Amino acid sequence: MHLAIAEAKKGAMAGEIPVGAILVHDGQVIGKGFNQPILSHDPTAHAEIVALRDACTRLGNYRLPPQTTLYVTLEPCTMCFGALIHARVGRIVFATFEPKSGVVGSQMNLSQMGFYNHQAMVSQGLLSCECSQMLSQFFAKRRADKRLAKQMANSTV
């Protein structure tokens, strides 16, 4: 999870919501990514999707090896969970819940639905406090920056 946090910090430095993801197979990192929909002008460029693209490109296959684990700093959304299932990720470990759009515990738990042709084990809570704090600090800074910009705009009028 420390490597996923490092990826999330890269995203925060670029002005993206700090979410990072790492794919691991047999103890080796096979893919990594951070949120970059703003940078890439791509609404699908969530950390999980970027890590999947990285791994699949490296491996030359759209399916990942059995027992691949995803470590991600925030609970996956619907889009990301679907992609993880299609790629055959064996295990998903996320740090902190996403109460608005998380789908492996917050809003629903898609990992417990029997209609998928692949099932992934899900674990949560690894370094939860650190990841939650990183997100809270990011959004607090973003709100403060917006307030400052608004004050500056009002003072020039």
Biggest CA-to-CA distance, the chain: 61
56 annotated ligand binder: no
Q: Write the DSSP string, 23-75.
A: EEETTEEEEEEE--HHHHT-TT--HHHHHHHHHHHHHTSSSPPTT-EEEEEE-
Structure tokens at 155: 């003072």
Which whole number is the average pLDDT over 93-111? Answer: 96
131 annotated ligand binder: no
38-52 pLDDT, tens digit per residue, is 999 999 999 999 999
Question: Among all residues, which ones are annotated catalytic?
Answer: 48
107-143 pLDDT, tens digit per residue, is 999 999 999 999 999 999 999 999 999 999 999 998 8
- Sorted by where each begins, the domain ranges of the chain are 1-155
pLDDT of residue 155: 80
**Distance of alpha carbon 114 from alpha carbon 119, whole angstroms:** 8
The CATH T-level fold of domain 1-155 is: Cytidine Deaminase; domain 2 (3.40.140)
Q: What is the mean pLDDT of the chain?
A: 95
72-84 pLDDT, tens digit per residue, is 999 999 999 999 9
80 annotated ligand binder: yes
